[in-house]
Amino acid sequence: METDNLIHRFNDYLMHFLSIRSIKEKTDALIKKKALESSIEKFLGKFPDYWKPAINYSNSLKDLKVYVAELSAKIAELEISNVTIQNITYEFYSSNAVKKLLCFNNY
């Protein structure tokens, strides 16, 4: 189904990403910091600056970029957990904390 609500599409994409890429560490579901940041950039990469969207997508695209910028700032404020896996230390965010930051009530 085609929709011009890009914020909702982004939220669905991120929820799916968190559900398939999160790892369970003790009692928490964690997502790698680097993987989360690259997935957000990958989604925005689908809409390059040189692309001229249709009129119904242009406002939605502007709203999406504002939403993603605000979300990225909130994610940067989250607590980072350092987990060592096979003698390599990785930075993780709590998947549940990231999910709580998503807002599905944007129109």
pLDDT by residue (tens digit) across 23-44? 898 888 999 999 999 999 999 9
Do the beta carbons of residue 53 and residue 61 sit within 8 Å? yes
What confidence tens digit (pLDDT) does each residue in 81-97 have? 898 889 999 999 999 99
With left for phi above 0 and alpha for psi between -120 and 50, is residue 26 left, alpha or beta?
left
Alpha-carbon span 70 to 106, nearest angstrom: 13
Torsion of CA 5, 98, 90, 39, to 10 degrees: 0
| pTM given for the model | 0.87
Q: What is the mean pLDDT of residues 41-64?
A: 88
CA-CA-CA-CA torsion sign (65, 67, 72, 77): positive
